[in-house]
Amino acid sequence: MSEKTDYTDVGSRLREIREKSRAKKISQNAFGEQFGVSQSYIKNVESGSKPSLEFLINVATAYDVSLDWLLLGREPGEHQYQQLPGRVNRSNEQESDPDLKEWISFFYSVPPDARPLLIGTVRTLLQNSYAPSNPNNAPSTLPNTGGDEHAAAKSDIA
């Protein structure tokens, strides 16, 4: 499912930001200076010309708006993601399982560069807890959240 971007609408949303944000209207010239582009660039974009991705990211960051809203007019939570073939949709499971919600919240609170270490640590703890003195009591499989991309995290723990 693909949504086509209407750059006239993008220009209108940019104009809305420029005219209504931060308590006073900002001129095209001042808005352009804020992002290192000319007044004519702002005028063209507001009229429907395709803006650069860098410009859109800078505006979205500076004015705390999402690229979804800026490009497609979608409000937060208004996502229309398509279920991929072969994938299990677990959104209902996540909403009803408080432990899973807590794990997900904790995972996203960890800096992205530390997540492989966290995954490797949890995997090692699970392997150790499923390694009883009697191997007949061990489960046949352990949870697996990834492949070799976590090998570095595993070696850091050992």
Residue 85: what pLDDT?
54
Give the pLDDT confidence score for residue 83 in this predicted structure: 47
Q: How far apart are CA 149 and CA 145, in angstroms?
A: 10
DSSP classification of residue 36:
T
The pTM is what?
A: 0.48
**Which class does domain 7-72 fall in?**
mainly alpha
State the DSSP string of 45-104: HHTTPPPPHHHHHHHHHHTT--HHHHHH-PPTT---PPPPTT----HHHHHH-HHHHHHH
Residue ranges matching CATH 1.10.260.40 in the chain: 7-72
pLDDT < 50: residue spans in the chain: 1, 81-84, 140, 145, 147-156, 158
Q: What is the pLDDT of residue 153?
A: 45
Q: How far apart are CA 142 and CA 36, in angstroms?
A: 53
Write out pLDDT tens, residues 38-70. Answer: 999 999 999 999 999 999 999 999 888 888 889
Which pLDDT belongs to residue 51?
A: 95
Q: What is the dihedral of CA 22, 26, 30, 32, to 10 degrees?
A: 90
